[in-house]
Structure 1
Amino acid sequence: MKFKLIALDVDGTLLNDQYVLTERTKQTIQEVHDTGCHIVLCTGRAPASTLPILQELGLEGTMITHNGAATVHADERGQTLVNEFAFPLSEIRPMLDYARREGIHFDVCTPFNMYIERIGEYEKQMYKKFLINPKLVTDVTELELPIVKFTLFAQPEVLDRVQLEWEDQKLYGDLRMIRSGDLFIDVMSAKANKGNALKALAASLEIDANEIMAIGNYYNDLEMMAFAGLGIAVANSPEDVKEAADAITASNNEDGVHEAIVKYCL
């Protein structure tokens, strides 16, 4: 089957461990795009840090950001919010109190902005790596804005403990908590995931799930890979992510996206 849409996770999948898009992968994506295939970046990143990668690919179009919580269309006129799964800040107050008490770094995101209450050198380097420029405020709850994502950033052993405690206490309530990377925990609307966002986008484009190929590397990619007709995990994925995939490609450091597109699309 000729795939009409390719959904690509960014960090750990499309980019290598140096956060570089290789020339070979870029050329392959441009080649398959030229055949009429939609390329959709599906990432935990915000639109502002996803757009430069889309532009580096020489493309414009729709980006699924914040792990599916905000879908944004980008073209020469700017960025337009297509869909969002937002919730009030009041719903994360118990988690905010916990993070402040334990000294764990956090940020809160609207579709287009990120807010933090403090920042150190370690966090500055992380945000720089992901092309993020967060806004520093005294108290995020004073913003009184609906948000799409609440994120913790800490060492894996810290987040392992947080994950166990929050699951045990159901501290996230009716929201959804996911581990989006070794160093990140995201809390979002229960409806927000890459699979639901991709499903909505595919319906608007009149593309069937069987005409979609999705490539990812982590637990936040599972719904997207399950929805697609062909869900592919890169070789650097955790074992249970690879077990859930339909196929395995090379790692992100070995141009796994390039390999998969050549094998299944070109």
Structure 2
Amino acid sequence: MKPGALITDLDGTLLDANSVCSQRNLAALKALGGAGILRVAATGRSLFSARKVLSFDFPIDYLIFSSGAGVMQWARQELIFSAHLQRQEIQALIRGLQSEHLDFMIHGPIPENHCFYYQKNSKHNPDFDSRLAIYQAYAKPWQGEDLPWEQVSEILVIVPETAALARYHWLSQSWPQFQIIRATSPLDYASGWLEIFPAHISKSQTSAWLLQRYALEAKQTLAIGNDYNDQDLLAWAGLGCVVNNAPEDLRSIFTCVAHHCEDGFSEAVALWSESTGLLLS
């Protein structure tokens, strides 16, 4: 089937360790556009955060941000999709997090979802503290008072690396009405970030929604990623590739290309074009 779309993660995949897209990877993106391929970046970053690393003329067609909770048509900077949790539906969940002494952040509605309220219930969580320091201008402590929003974009729970998998399973089993997405902290590269979204939100589900607008299918898609929050996308796509800095268990499942600092993205594009007969100039 004719290739139709590229969907790539940003941090640790398309971008290098300094959050820069290399010239080789840029050239690959531009070549894909010239060949009529739909180019999509799918990131866990909020729109606010993504704009720090992507210029307005960056060669993508769409940005899927906040792990699928929002979609921006990039050139026009037009928000075409957003999804939220209603305030009343998260009350029992929040009580559950408190009873387990978990540290969490409640993010506001899109597109201002870099603003959040937080509650720290443990004594020691350096990664949580690091994120607070970065977003101190947009963060407020929360003591249980009514939130100012009728809907929120997500709840983020940050746990130590050793507790990440167990807490992911606990959340998934205890709260099946939500989508629980597990990611590795982009700050200390170890702690677990457990993101809670509406059930229909993930990178793969939002990608499928976007591709339907172009009459494209998953099997026409190349997906490239590096972490657990990319796993559903990688499994959904016609070809799923991980860069060599991905966790070992992901490298054993998906096609592995070079490290993200060694242009693994462009290597994946070359593999895909060769296997599908896509001509890139």
Q: Does the alignment reach a TM-score above 0.5? A: yes
| Equivalent residue number for residue 208 of structure 2 | 199
Distance 1:93 1:52 in 2: 33
1:134 equivalent among 131, 138, 142:
138
Residues 30 and 58, structure 1, Cα contact 8 Å, conserved in 2: no
Q: How does 1:73-152 map to 2 (within 5 A)?
A: 73-76=73-76, 78-80=77-79, 82-97=80-95, 99=97, 102=101, 104-112=103-111, 113=113, 114-117=115-118, 125-126=130-131, 134-136=138-140, 138=142, 141-152=146-157
Distance 2:72 2:231 in 1: 21
Residues 183 and 194, structure 2, Cα contact 8 Å, conserved in 1: yes
Aligned-residue CA RMSD (Å): 3.1
Structure 1 residues 195 and 163 mapped into 2: Cα distance closer, same or farther (>3 Å)?
A: closer
| Equivalent residue number for residue 228 of structure 1 | 237
Structure 1 residues 124 and 48 mapped into 2: Cα distance closer, same or farther (>3 Å)?
A: farther
Q: Is the aligned partner of 1:42 residue 2:81?
A: no
Name stretches of at least 5 consecutive residues in structure 1 with no aligned partner: none
Question: 1:184 deviation in Å?
Answer: 0.8
Structure 1 residues 58 and 19 mapped into 2: Cα distance closer, same or farther (>3 Å)?
A: closer
Residues 40 and 60, structure 2, Cα contact 8 Å, conserved in 1: no
TM-score normalized by the length of structure 1: 0.81
Instruction: Using the aligned pairs only, state the percent identity.
Output: 20
Structure 1 residues 15 and 205 mapped into 2: Cα distance closer, same or farther (>3 Å)?
A: same
The one-letter code matched in structure 2 to 1:177 is I
Structure 1 residues 186 and 148 mapped into 2: Cα distance closer, same or farther (>3 Å)?
A: same
Between stretches 253-262 and 56-65, larger displacement belongs to: 56-65
Structure 1 residues 204 and 103 mapped into 2: Cα distance closer, same or farther (>3 Å)?
A: closer
| Equivalent residue number for residue 9 of structure 1 | 9
Name stretches of at least 5 consecutive residues in structure 2 with no aligned partner: 185-190, 274-279
Structure 1 residues 6 and 132 mapped into 2: Cα distance closer, same or farther (>3 Å)?
A: farther
